Amino acid sequence: MGNVITYCEFTGESLRTAALPGIACARDVAKAQGGEVVVLLVGKGAGAAAQDAARYAPRVIAVDDPSMEYDLAESIAPIVKRTIESESASAAVATATGVGKDLMPRVAALLGVAVASDVAEVVGETQFKRPVLAGNAFSTVEVTSKPLLVTARQSAFDAATPLDAAGKVEPAEAGDSDSLGAEVLRIETTASDRPDLNDADVVVSGGRGMKSGDNFAVLEKLADTMGAAMGASRAATDAGMVPADWQVGQTGKIVAPNLYFAIAISGAIQHLAGMKNSKTIVAVNKDAEAPIFQVADYGLVATWEEAVPQLTEAISKVKSEG
Ligand SMILES: Cc1cc2nc3c(=O)[nH]c(=O)nc-3n(C[C@H](O)[C@H](O)[C@H](O)COP(=O)(O)OP(=O)(O)OC[C@H]3O[C@@H](n4cnc5c(N)ncnc54)[C@H](O)[C@@H]3O)c2cc1C
């Protein structure tokens, strides 16, 4: 049985936090099918991140190409395809991030095979569980085409732990990677010192009940006491209170931090789909009947105006006491 290629995203000299659940899923696939996990890094600086990647897999293939500064799925897909073929791999996995979701269907099209998307559990050699109906039910799907392509739902797999011994790094050439005319013209991001929402250990999210963008400053203060990322419900982003890339949920980012604060968020199923796998959920809502309390580990029936400044002060005090 062939190996399991795992395409991993990286930033600087490290794998992105989001890559680790993908490696965990790849290990499950390898357990079900046989073979070993081989990490594939593609892009400018891949060589520098390869040492970190080698902590998680016996082999790392690093395609370090200065022309590939951005994660452009059109350019990466042919490299993933070629790697699968040259390795005679039986499967390839990527985390279902924005990049992974863009990439794997392109690889599938190039190979003429199917892709098991947003997989939450590896059930067997070719069978996978994946959420449907905004995460309210699971279906079991079987993929019979080969090689097997999978995107792993980030919040459904624990982060892969390092191996006892570091793996071997093998540099490789990008070769011909026709991007089909696609190019990155510019990246527009909100400048922030806070951690990326996908990678954060703690997330503070606000909803429509915050009433205005200015009021989010109160939540940002809370977030900054803990080094947390900011998130929001779609009602808050749609209303223009906060940037669209803060949106958590079915049509936003799917996160599973250790600690998630839902402040003035009702808990609609589409929001829960993006955060309910968080390890600990704290909700503040003035309505005791709000559905968010059904998933919250700690719930406070109070207005944010009253509760959040007190929370921030209490956390700052604990932090300063060391
Ligand atoms: C196809 C589709 C996809 C969607 N995708 C997403 C998605 O990805 N993410 C997402 O979030 N939503 C998504 N939605 C929208 C979702 O259905 C809800 O409309 C949205 O999540 C509601 O946001 P909210 O909880 O902030 O607002 P509301 O439902 O209006 O809730 C506001 C809450 O604030 C509380 N509140 C008000 N004032 C205060 C106060 N002073 N102090 C404390 N609490 C207060 C209220 O009691 C209420 O519970 C989607 C909808 C559809 C149809």
* Alpha carbons 230 and 205: distance in angstroms, whole number: 6
Q: What pTM did the predictor assign?
A: 0.81
* Alpha carbons 94 and 293: distance in angstroms, whole number: 33
Residue to mutate (ligand 1; options 251, 276, 304; most atoms within 8 A of CB)? 251
pLDDT tens digits along 188-244: 777 778 998 988 999 999 999 999 999 999 999 999 999 999 999 999 999 999 999
Instruction: List all residues 6 or more positions away from 7 whose beta carbon is below 8 Å from its beta carbon.
Output: 22, 40, 42, 76, 80, 92, 93, 94, 100, 103, 104
User: Domain 202-320: which CATH class?
Assistant: alpha beta
Ligand 1 touching residue 286 (CB < 6 A) = yes
Residue with the two structure tokens 């090689």: 147
The pLDDT of residue 180: 85
Indicate whether 177 pLDDT > 80. no
The pLDDT of residue 50: 97
Instruction: List all residues 6 or more positions away from 164 whose beta carbon is below 8 Å from its beta carbon.
Output: none
Ligand 1 touching residue 308 (CB < 6 A) = no
Question: How far apart are the CA of 221 and the centre of ligand 1, in A?
Answer: 22
Q: Taking Cα atoms as reference points, which of 239, 240, 298, 236 lies closest to residue 266? A: 236
Ligand 1 touching residue 285 (CB < 6 A) = yes
Q: For ligand 1, atom 18, which residue shows the shortest CA distance?
A: 268
Question: How far apart are the CA of 210 and the centre of ligand 1, in A?
Answer: 11
Q: For ligand 1, atom 47, which residue shows the shortest CA distance?
A: 287
Indicate whether 78 pLDDT > 90. yes
Q: What is the mean pLDDT of residues 125-136?
A: 90
Question: How far apart are the CA of 7 and the centre of ligand 1, in A?
Answer: 34
Which residue stretches of the chain are H helix?
A: 19-33, 46-53, 73-86, 98-111, 216-226, 234-238, 269-272, 292-295, 304-320
Question: Which sequence spans correspond to the domains of the chain?
Answer: 4-172, 202-320
The pLDDT of residue 188: 78
The pLDDT of residue 291: 98
Q: For ligand 1, atom 30, which residue shows the shortest CA distance?
A: 208
Domains 4-172 and 202-320 share a fold: yes
Ligand 1 touching residue 249 (CB < 6 A) = yes
Q: Which CATH superfamily is domain 4-172 in?
A: HUPs (3.40.50.620)
The pLDDT of residue 321: 85
